[in-house]
Structure 1
Amino acid sequence: MLSAFNYLNEEQQQQVEQSVVAAEKQTSCEIVPVIATSSGRYDRPEDVVGLWLTIVSALCLWYFFPRNGGQAGDWGGMPVIVELFLAAILLAIAFILGAIAGSRIGWLRRLFTPRLQMQDEVAARAREIFFDKRIHHTEGGTGILIYISLFEHIAVALADQSVIDKLGQPFLDQICQKLTTGLHSGNPTATLCETILEIGNQASTPLPRATDDQNELHDALVLID
């Protein structure tokens, strides 16, 4: 699974940070971009993949090592209790391997995780970061969070109420759509930079930067693994 720390190289991270600096020169908004590896634990795929691999292993045992007429089959006449013991061990191993695969292989986790659950997890995590990073606590109430969760392929834009009043919720929804489309196109750096600069341009008139405006939040790209 792709880590947030490997998503952009150092030069690309600096480009994003420079975009934040440039955007905040036009507006009083405090823009905080965040990239996270994942927003949820998602235990279900581990159980589902483990169960399916166990079922497939059981069918393979039944097919390749049959018992005919109560006599020992292809296992060389081993006692039934030994065969059952070995089968139980093999099935347990199959479940463990499936659980490991379900927890570490990204496309398997996404395949067996409902989309609605991922959306809820990303939204909850974004709200948590919005408060934990004190983005909501700026003096003018002008914090904006751009949150990208890599595993779920979902982007969220959150803002203080004063920003929503000036720019409108549809603008934030548009930002999310632009981020999602751009990230799917395979150019995350340009997408992030363009989005941040667009926020600065759109907010420059309704929320202009004052002459005595202080930079309350760090301009660095936040990475969460």
Structure 2
Amino acid sequence: MKDPAEKFLTAAERQHIEARVAEAEKRTSGEIVVMVVPSSYHYPLASMLGSLLTAMIITIAVTFLYEQFIGKESMWFFPALFSMVFIFVHEVIRRVPLLKRIFVTRSDMREEVEEAAIQTFYYRDLNQTVDHTGILIYISLFEHHVRVIADKGINDRVNKDAWQEIVTTIVGGIHAKTQAAAIATAVDRCADILSTHFPLQAGDRNELSDEVIIGAGK
């Protein structure tokens, strides 16, 4: 099965976004990185909880019907059926994101995206630019969340609330199924914000790749 993050943007759409990043960085000494992950976490507890609840409901119902219509009681019927249903449902929930999301709270998803975005920022060395002007646009598909992480040099001059506009633009584009255009627009807007405080300097070099990163998440 193809990775959802791979399907999210076509090769042509990635190239278009990468070109916009390159153009944006001609106006600012800031470095913009776009990353798309299928999920920020695998949420094992959600699969376990969903499987337990579903298996319990199905097993109780089937056991009741079995005893009503067959008229037999067996101490082994319930645990045997429960085990089989649990294993089957667990695999289904684990593999079907829409089902798994039912058993994950919004607060848990928000926390996992926040943690994963910050980890990615440092793992990808976005904090290593000369003037600490790296910025990460992190898109996590399972959680339907977008997070913008800016380095210290940017945060010292730009209010963090400014990035909400970027998030809103991308989320709106995803809902409208125009995610590539929305991300390109968001990149342009990042450049507008950064160029005010960090205009392109003589001798500036491209410190981070313009490539759209398709990641595996945690």
Shift of 1:37: 0.7
Match of 2:80 among 89, 114, 118: 89
Q: Are the equivalent residues in 2 in contact too, given 1:45–1:108 (CA < 8 A)?
A: no
Provide the C-alpha distance between the structure 1 equivalents of 2:193 and 2:161, rounded to a whole number of angstroms: 13
Which runs of structure 2 are paired with 1:45-64 in the superposition (5 Å)? 45-64=46-65
8 Å contact from structure 1 (residues 37, 150) kept in 2: yes
- C-alpha deviation, 1:44, in angstroms: 2.0
- Aligned residue in 1 for 2:212: 221
Normalized against structure 2, the TM-score is what? 0.91
In the alignment, what sits opposite 2:15? 14
Q: Deviations over 1:76-114 (max 9, x none)?
A: x7xx6xx43344322101011121122121122111101
Question: Are positions 1:74 and 2:70 aligned together?
Answer: yes
Match of residue 32 from structure 1: 33
Shift of 1:199: 1.0
- Listed as ranges, the matches of 1:73-222 within 5 Å are 74=70, 83-222=74-213
What are the Cα deviations for residues 40-99 of structure 1, in whole angstroms up to 9, with x where unaligned? 1211221222112222232233332116xxxxx627x7xx6xx43344322101011121
Provide TM-score, normalisation by structure 1. 0.89
- Aligned equivalents of 1:149 and 1:137: distance in 2? 23
Return 5+ residue gaps in structure 1 as ranges.
68-72
- Read off the aligned partner of 1:39 and give its amino acid letter: S
Within 2, Cα distance between the matches of 1:59 and 1:87? 8
Alignment partners' CA distance in 1, 2:19 and 2:207: 16
The alignment partner of 2:36 has SS state of strand
The AA in structure 1 aligned to 2:31 is E
What is the alpha-carbon distance in structure 2 between the residues aligned to residue 166 and residue 60 of structure 1? 61
Instruction: Work out whether residues 16 and 192 of structure 1, in 8 Å CA contact, stay in contact via their aligned partners in 2.
Output: yes
Instruction: Answer with 182-191 or 121-130: which moved more.
Output: 182-191
Residue in 1 that maps onto 2:42: 41
Q: CA deviation at 1:210?
A: 1.1
Contact 1:38 1:151 in 2 (8 A): yes
Gaps of at least 5 residues in structure 2 are none
Work out the percentage of aligned pairs sharing the same amino acid.
27
- Matched residue pairs, number? 215
Secondary structure of the residue aligned to 1:175 is helix
What RMSD, in angstroms, separates the aligned Cα atoms of the two structures? 1.8
